[in-house]
Structure 1
Amino acid sequence: MSSATHGATPYYFVPGPSSHPVMAAIGLFFVILGASQWINGASWGAWSLAFGMVFWLVTLFRWFRDAVNESEGGMYGRKIDLSYRWSMSWFIFSEVMFFGAFFTALWWARAHSVPALGSLDNALLWPDFKAVWPSLAAGVTASPADIIEPFTTMGPFWLPTINTALLLSSGVTLTIAHHALRENQRGRTIAFMWMTVLLGTTFLFVQGYEYFHAYSELNLKLTSGVFGSTFYMLTGFHGFHVLVGMLMLLFITLRLQKGHFTADNHFGFEGAAWYWHFVDVVWLGLYVLVYWL
């Protein structure tokens, strides 16, 4: 959001009729239809999925472009600023609940499910079962029937620790960029924003290599019992959120280079920063609970 004004800023801006919501829904319809048919063996599902994704992304681009033009045209006043802040706050809250569900699943498996399977009630069914977390080999914990291949867990050294340093550093560079923008130092802001984007991109490449290492050398897969499923669900969804946050920061940086945002009014920047700091906090929880404990 920018504070550029051309004439009087309205007390509350009401946009005109728009086809963007309907078009976005159509795109998502083809995405869901294609994905559901593709995983069920229909070859045309992949084409429907690809068409829906392109259609949806083009619609989002046009929608965001209109919002940027409205902002730069001075149509957004204090009420719109507040509505954006509340919207972003509730969105991040929903993301907290999203990750909270997966963290709870990890805790429940470790603290309740595995100990329950090792109780006296199940001793007759699996007399050799050892209720130890995490499962390191077939038949030890997650696979009393020997249906899961042996695997090695992913420890904190060194790739996860490197990624932790990358994300924490990106939070620092983003904060420096924010303070520079508030001091109207646009060049310094842009420089530190590019550093933040680079750190986020590097994180994704390191995580990609970590997954390759886990699959090829540790035999750690999504099918590796409850440990494998919770590991990939938590780290995978977090990686997707890093990708989304990195794209948000990239577009904010490009807008900064075009002269958007001011020292006094720049919620587009702040909203992306909120999201990125949230991603940082989630990773710290992952780093401790998944890699260390």
Structure 2
Amino acid sequence: MRILLTGGTGLIGRALCGLWQSQGHELIVWSRRPEQVPALCSGARGVGRLEELENSGSASALDAVVNLAGAPIADKPWTSAQRTLLRKSRVALTKELVDWLGRQAHRPRLLISGSAVGWYGDCGERMIDEPSRQGTTDFGSELCGEWEREALRAEPLGMRVVLLRTAPVLAPQGGMLEKLRLPFSLGLGGRLGSGNQWMPWIHIDDLTRLIDHVLQSDDCRGVFNACSPAPATNAEFTRALARALHRPAVLRVPAWALRMALGEMSVLLLTGQRAVPMRAIKRGFKFQHPILKEALAELLARRK
């Protein structure tokens, strides 16, 4: 296949490029820094503008588009400027991409577009699968809704659209685990607020395999929760990571301190979704790393 990726130089994109290059697919990454793409993305070709694909004749030969671009949502408080950046990197980019696809005489058959389990908002203890309604919404869930609506505009163009509501990704390098490893290694890890909020998660290898599954399956369309079938609470996650690193985790960050420091963005840490990947399970997709304790041990061993 010839596949166009956005967000190809990110954590998930780099892992996908490694997998798909090994399968013999031809990969093109739309990037702000196309000159860095070959080194970061397993030899993929980088383009800085979509029009370059038209000039080279590659646009008419695309089989699929995988749209994963988006500035990190948890790196900075949600100021007005940061909200503008987050919308631009997700909603505006997806609009530009779908508008471009609409102008092509020959379109790819498939658009896989990123989203997040944060779409559901705060759902408390309620189990969440793909048909579930939203809970208490916040900026993050509203952003995911705008993002998905732009991607769904590809359906009237005759394209199969898959929306991936992805949980925080655990990987040996980068992502959430990279940020948590140092404080937990120093014995400074601890639960956040009550610790009862649910934390969906997914191992990077299971995520890339799931994306590859929906790429290869012509009957996959619509929303897929990309998360482990066994979500954990924040307290459970804290204990599991501390034990994996052989360190104590007795500290606690009170909710009021997180709200004061982070403002509305604190909802990412103090609320959650008890999400499960029901559509993937019903299709018979087999998760290789469904248990948090075992997933953490495998990922930390890969760092040694």
Shorter-chain TM-score: what band? under 0.3
Larger radius of gyration: 1
Greater relative contact order (Cα < 8 A, sep 6+) = 1
TM-score by length of structure 2 reads: 0.24
Which has the larger share of strand? 2
TM-score by length of structure 1 reads: 0.25
